[in-house]
Amino acid sequence: MKRLIPDVFRNPVIRVSMLAIFTFGFAGATTSPYQSVVGIRELGLSNALYSALIFAAATVNVVVSILLGNLADRLGEYRTMMLIAAIFGVAGYGAIYLIPTEQVFVLSALLILPVYSSLSSLLFANVRAATGDMNRSDVATVNSGVRAMISLSWVLVPGLTGILLSGSPTMLPAYLFACISCVVCLALIGLFLPRQSGTDHAATHHLSYLAALGQVVSPKILSRVVAIALISSTLHVNGAILPLVVTGAAHGTVADVGVLVGIVAFLEVIFIILWSRLLRVISQLTALAAGTIIYAVYLVLLALASAPWQVYALTLISGIGAAALISVPITYLQDLIAERPGLGSALISVNIFLSAGLSALLFAAGTALTTYSGTAFVGAISGMAGLALLLFLDGRRR
């Protein structure tokens, strides 16, 4: 058993952070698949308003993640910021459930829940600070294990939520489940996360908030974040086109989509652990290159799928590639600003924002020029372009 559980996970900070990020993922897994249903169909938001709201909320989340991350670096402890973020989650999800109006939904989604979403980067920053004295391979193992907890929450939670609410006239109880998850997360952080003195990890040189933003958008940092975002955009493109390809060119059903998502999430958990082991003998750049190529091959084969069994057969390739693309970039991005765990981890949110925006552009361009299957080719090209840029920037140094 000891060989199955690496010693690095016996650190109490890491263990509690893993449980906390599972509850964070639980809240997202129980609401994200049904957010548009609640916002548009149940509360009456227009498609245009909903799209603008999601984009604006993502922008707010990026700014808040950078500001809170920089503040946590200056304080030298992350527990306080995490408690504040978790409280915002309780308030945001709870408000939507208790006062289900268009105005409350917009306010929560735009100003309250983006603060809660910054909890993810703060948890990774907290883990990064706890692993400061570890070697690179152990840090990668820890980050992979923490990220696997988010995937684990997505294995069954969306399907179970759908089953529990299948006979309900509303999907609003999903927000109650998320609120309860945030309460559990708050309790884990407040009661079980070891307190920090604030001296061991405080940044030596304080940055103003404008200076922190400036460091993030500096050419050296931003160029690499853009490269990772191009690679990560393949995941978002797949998320958009998979249901359309399965129920279209592959002649499958909506039920097939749910099963496929669950299978891939399960495989991601397994292969995230395997990639973390590989990172002990290969570099991050090599792992990113291999993962990108594997996922690009998957997208090309998905574009050629014409029957449900073919898509099911691709889940293994998808799981291997996706596991690399959702776990390896975490450590890579943190290393870009290694001396500031909070600000470095905030780059994770920046990457999510940029990759989601790029995927929206790719989806729009792909569907305008070709079919949904053809858009899968476009996603593969984007991933390879990101890999080429990354190799250009870091290849010789590596």
Q: 229 with 375, same domain?
A: yes
Whether 324 is in a domain gets the answer yes
Is residue 286 situated within a structural domain? yes
Assess whether 140 and 179 both reside in one domain: yes
Q: Is 1 contained in some domain?
A: no
What gap in Å lies between CA 243 and CA 240, rounded to an integer? 7
Give the Cβ contact number of residue 370 at 10 Å: 14
Mean pLDDT in residue range 262-282: 89
Of 119, 93, 111, 114, give the one whose Cα is nearest residue 30. 93
Task: Give yes or no: residues 303 and 253 share one domain.
Answer: yes
How many angstroms separate the CA atoms of 395 and 398, rounded? 5
Q: Is residue 3 part of a domain?
A: no
| Residue after which a domain boundary falls, among 190, 206, 222 | 206
Domain assignment present for residue 2? The answer is: no
> By the 8 A CB rule, do 343 and 201 touch?
no
As for how many domains the chain has, the answer is: 2
Q: How many CA atoms lie within 13 A of 24 on its CB side?
A: 31
The region of weakest confidence among 151-160, 183-192, 220-229 is 151-160
Q: What is the average per-residue pLDDT within 287-309?
A: 95
**Considering the domain boundaries, does residue 221 fall inside one?**
yes
Sequence letter at residue 161 = T
Q: Which domain holds residue 30?
A: 8-206
CATH number (domain holding residue 26)? 1.20.1250.20
Q: Which of 175, 206, 237 is the last residue of a domain?
A: 206
User: What are 102-147's pLDDT values in tens digits?
Assistant: 999 999 999 999 999 999 999 999 998 888 778 777 787 888 888 8
- The answer to which of 176-185, 322-331, 366-375 has the lowest mean pLDDT is 366-375
Is residue 234 very low, low, confident or very high in pLDDT (cuts 50, 70, 90)?
A: very high
Q: What digits encode the pLDDT tens for the residues 7-27?
A: 667 788 889 999 999 999 999
157 plus 86 within the same structural domain: yes
- 91 located within any domain: yes
Residues 149 and 135 in one domain: yes
pLDDT (average), residues 248-267: 83
Given a cut of 60, whether residue 359 has pLDDT beyond it is: yes
The predicted-structure confidence for 194-224, as pLDDT tens digits, reads as follows 876 654 555 555 666 677 777 888 899 999 9
Looking at 174, 206, 238, the residue that finishes a domain is 206
Lowest mean pLDDT among 64-73, 252-261, 376-385, 387-396: 252-261
Question: Are 188 and 236 within one domain?
Answer: no
Residue 133 sits in the same domain as residue 16: yes
Please tell me the total number of residues recorded for the chain in this structure.
Answer: 398
10 Å CB burial of residue 71 (0-12, 13-18, 19+) is middle
pLDDT at 199: 47
Segments in the chain forming alpha helices (H): 12-31, 35-36, 47-75, 79-98, 102-107, 113-117, 119-130, 136-164, 173-187, 209-216, 219-246, 254-278, 284-304, 308-313, 315-336, 341-369, 372-394
pLDDT score of 393: 93
Classify 181 as helix, strand or coil: helix
Same structural domain, 234 and 137: no
Confidence check: pLDDT of 343 > 90: no
pLDDT value at residue 41: 83
**Based on the domain organization, do 92 and 64 belong to the same domain?**
yes
Residue 254 falls inside a structural domain: yes
DSSP class per residue in 297-334: HHHHHHHH--SHHHHHHTHHHHHHHHHHHHHHHHHHHH
Quote the mean pLDDT of the chain: 87
217 plus 300 within the same structural domain: yes
Question: Are both 198 and 226 inside the same structural domain?
Answer: no
Please tell me whether residues 163 and 252 are part of one structural domain.
no
